[in-house]
Amino acid sequence: MPTDVASLTREECWELLQREEFGRLAYGLDGETYIVPINYAVDEGRLVFRTAEGSKLSAILRGGTVAFEIDDIGPEWASSVIVRGPAVELSEEEARWADQLRLRPWIRSEKQHVVAITPTEMSGLRYRLHRPWRSMMPQP
């Protein structure tokens, strides 16, 4: 592995997961792969998010493993954490606890189901970025 890529420890992965609140969920349905941005929170070693009824909910609850990614991209470094694991829907009682988390939806829409991913795989990388074209791009 080149010296400008470093693995994150499990603790560092959790720190980044705690700090962020926006990630991307990937799941399979009928042999197809889908990806969707989600707002999430960390609760007792799980990643918890709200979702509405629909194909996403059906797919992620079918017992398969879902994949989830967050990242933190700065001017010189980028960190990314990838989590994989099964997703389950929380009971109404458990879902009420989720209201104690910072899991209010970012957007006002009906998202009545609360789902938790329990990570069975977790990995994180921190990259030093080389973006030689940056100096050639128009500056905002």
Chain residues binding a second copy by CB under 8 A are 1-2, 4-5, 21-22, 24, 26-28, 31-37, 64-69, 71, 73, 78, 80, 82, 84, 102, 104-109, 127-133, 137
Nearer CB in complex with a second copy: 1/45: 1
Alpha-carbon gap, residue 88 to 106, rounded angstroms = 22
Residues whose CB falls within 8 Å of the CB of residue 116, separated by 6 or more in sequence, listed in order: 43, 46, 47, 48, 87, 88, 90, 94
Alpha-carbon gap, residue 134 to 23, rounded angstroms = 26
Q: Contact 127/5 with Cβ under 8 angstroms?
A: yes
To a second copy, the closest distance from the beta carbon of 138 in angstroms equals 11
To a second copy, the closest distance from the beta carbon of 106 in angstroms equals 5
Nearer CB in complex with a second copy: 80/89: 80
Alpha-carbon gap, residue 8 to 80, rounded angstroms = 9
To a second copy, the closest distance from the beta carbon of 49 in angstroms equals 15
To a second copy, the closest distance from the beta carbon of 120 in angstroms equals 11
Identity at 36, one-letter amino acid code: V
Nearer CB in complex with a second copy: 64/91: 64
Rounded to whole angstroms, what are the CA distances from 81 to 57, 66, 70, 90? 23, 14, 5, 24
Nearer CB in complex with a second copy: 48/82: 82
